[in-house]
């Protein structure tokens, strides 16, 4: 029994490394595509793509999932390239990435900075942000820097309000709010 905490810590360390390695590998694969996009934005896109793989939506939720981003076109293009880089193995046909300003509906939204009122954002939208969420909306995922590393926090109460199930594997590597 005394070895269980050490084993858990080792497993957690391996899982975090695997997520980080995937994110870094994804960034490196697309270094030439969208070269003007900062590396941290590429890393965030890779993390967000992985977030969608560890979230279960209610069975009656409309498909495809619409992921809205409040970012320039090069970020959207990079995100598309990232998703399409997994043909046959892990391609997400049920995920659409669009710019927030063009969205009629958003199931997920990445809001990296000051928010503007967009009608596609509702209290049912899963928000991912780098800053406080806009009034009336709560972020489920929040990126932050710690020791020069990109980390994320998960608000489990907000995910429960949205009827979402987040995999324990993802919860293990996040800071829980």
What is the Cα–Cα distance from 118 to 4, expressed in whole angstroms? 48
pLDDT band for position 45 (cuts 50, 70, 90): very high
What does pLDDT average to over the chain?
A: 79
**What would the mean pLDDT of 45-61 be, rounded to a whole number?**
91
Listing DSSP states for 9-61 in one string gives HHHHHHHHHHHHHHHHHHHHHTSSTTTTS-HHHHHHHHHHHHHHHTEE--TTS
Calculate the CA dihedral of residues 76, 82, 87, 90 and round it to 10 degrees: -110
Nearest 5°: CA angle at 100, between 86 and 126?
Answer: 75
Other beta carbons within 10 angstroms of residue 54's beta carbon come to: 16
Cα–chain-centroid distance for residue 31?
20
pLDDT tens, position by position, 71-96: 778 888 898 888 887 654 444 557 88
Q: Return the residue matching tokens 């996009």.
A: 37
pLDDT of residue 56: 92
Q: List, in order, residues 6 or more apart from 63 with CB less than 8 Å away.
A: 94
Q: Could you tell me the pTM of the whole model?
A: 0.76
pLDDT band for position 5 (cuts 50, 70, 90): low
pLDDT tens, position by position, 8-23: 455 445 445 555 544 4
Most confident of 44-53, 76-85, 130-139: 44-53
Residue 142 near residue 113 (C-beta atoms within 8 A): no
pLDDT of residue 150 exceeding 90, the answer is yes
**What would the mean pLDDT of 137-153 be, rounded to a whole number?**
92
pLDDT of residue 1 exceeding 80, the answer is no
pLDDT band for position 152 (cuts 50, 70, 90): very high
Most confident of 10-14, 49-53, 113-117: 49-53
């Amino acid at each position: 029994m005394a070895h269980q905490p050490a084993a858990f810590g080792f497993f957690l360390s391996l899982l975090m490394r695997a997520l980080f390695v995937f994110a870094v590998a994804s960034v490196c694969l697309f270094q030439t595509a969208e070269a003007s996009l900062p590396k941290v934005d590429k890393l965030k896109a890779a993390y967000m793509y992985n977030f969608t793989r560890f979230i279960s939506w209610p069975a009656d939720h409309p498909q495809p999932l619409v992921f809205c981003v409040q970012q320039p076109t090069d970020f959207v293009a990079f995100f598309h390239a990232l998703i399409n880089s997994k043909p046959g193995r892990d391609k997400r046909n049920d995920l659409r990435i669009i710019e927030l300003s063009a969205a009629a509906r958003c199931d997920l939204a990445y809001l990296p900075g000051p928010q503007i009122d967009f009608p596609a954002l509702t209290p049912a939208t899963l928000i991912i942000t780098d800053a406080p969420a806009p009034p009336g909306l709560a972020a489920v995922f929040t990126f932050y820097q710690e020791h020069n590393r990109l980390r994320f926090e998960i608000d489990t109460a907000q995910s429960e309000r949205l009827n979402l199930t987040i995999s324990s594997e993802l919860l293990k590597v996040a800071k829980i709010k």
